[in-house]
Structure 1
Amino acid sequence: MENLILKAHKVRKVYGSKGSLFPALNSISLEVRKGEFVSVMGPSGAGKSTLLNVLSSIDSPTSGEIEIDGNSLSDMRQKELAMFRRDQLGFIFQDYNLLETMSIKDNVVLPLSLNRVKPFEIEVRFEEIARQFGIFDIRDKFPSEVSGGQKQRTAVCRAMITNPALIFADEPTGALDSKAATNLLEGLVQAKEHKQATILMVTHDAFAASYSERVLFIKDGELYTEIHRGKTTRKHFFQKILDVLAMLGGEADDTF
């Protein structure tokens, strides 16, 4: 498929040992194209976070194949995987994962500094993305001095500043109030539209998922179904998401 960024084929993940095996993922296959914003939803314990960890190479599958931007993860050794994550992937976590002893700016540009990018280019990239996400004016503050929403926007900037092939977001709005969550989600949509950012987001929140263009539903470690927004309004897509979650028996934040 043209512009295919992520391809997973019959991915399985089994925990435990003989006599007490637990299949967390059962033969999941999926694809994500460049510039797509895709959400993954499902009940607690369905395998959402396990799927994200396996797809992002944080964890390894028991079997199956995963390719990101044409690179087979199974062909890489641990050191190569670590370099690949640093250079080609972006990560956004619910708890921000910022370094408290570094300024907002230094947190954002850290991946570029580690890659020895020239100082001038670092400045240019930082100003562009920091202004886009509204953190330029707090660049000299420390994480303890800013709000949760500002911390998460800092984490998003850090994830995007390397122009990664794929961004993995694990419950990015989980610790935010509704206003901060909306600002963050609108920023992700803008990054997709203007930078062709490719985003795979795990969330339990139907409101957050309604900002994506496609939602994959996981149940009992299997891909249950998927829905596309198409040309419908976000409000209509939000209701479609709630309808599927009701069938799944999944929890959801139903505040639009």
Structure 2
Amino acid sequence: MPDFSLPTVLITGATSGFGLATARKFADNGYPLILTGRRVERLTALADELAQLTPVFTYQLDVRDAEQLLRFMDAIPDEFKRIEVLVNNAGLALGASPADEADLNDWHTMIDTNVTGLVNVTHTLLPVLKAQPKASIINLASIASNWSYPGAHVYGASKAFVQQFSRNLRSDFAGTGVRVTSLEPGLSESEFSLVRFNGDQDKYNAIYEDSNPLQPEDIADIIFWIAEQPSHININSLEVMPTSQAWDNFKVVKG
């Protein structure tokens, strides 16, 4: 018999990077999982892998589509509906060139995914989360929420939205069982960066060479730790960098 003694964890963007590692972390600890993503083949493979450990429900979902989210909620089996943890992981960065060289379509895609998508998912899940005695919303922001750097333009701005949205949600739900965290990773090695560089493996390799970056499993461990905190504790925000990285971009351009 499937074990539903623990509440359900819902992870968006679960087919790669932080989302994939987080799904595996919670599965290893027996939490039922709802996993969403746009790549159905990867979702199917992940469900097959993790079903050996815990109940898993997958759904092909584009978080930008609010109507699709409503269909998704209707499709969730009853036994999975005790959702206590929402990990808003779906997001992306596109391009690292200066703003005047950026593709406007890339800007729109980042806003639609990182901002609109996160808002869509959160708004849809709030009634379910509020019904639980203890719930966690863990939003994946970035050090780009706090620090500007060349080429971050819309990506950094979208993650600053995630951070401030998290704070405002936290204010709305103070004194309730709903906890909200903005998690802000620094240099992390994952498919995320390959997407940003449009599949350019050489650029990807140059970023991570000899840098000992964070790994998706590191972030998954942190997400699990946040969710496992006692109900009277809220981790408001958490900025995490590899030891090889610091605030070293405040350079004066002379000329």
Smaller-chain TM-score bracket: 0.3 to 0.5
Normalised by the length of structure 2, the TM-score is 0.34
Higher percent of residues as helix? 2
Higher percent of residues as strand? 1
Normalised by the length of structure 1, the TM-score is 0.34
Which of structures 1 and 2 has the larger relative contact order (alpha carbons within 8 angstroms, sep 6+)?
A: 1
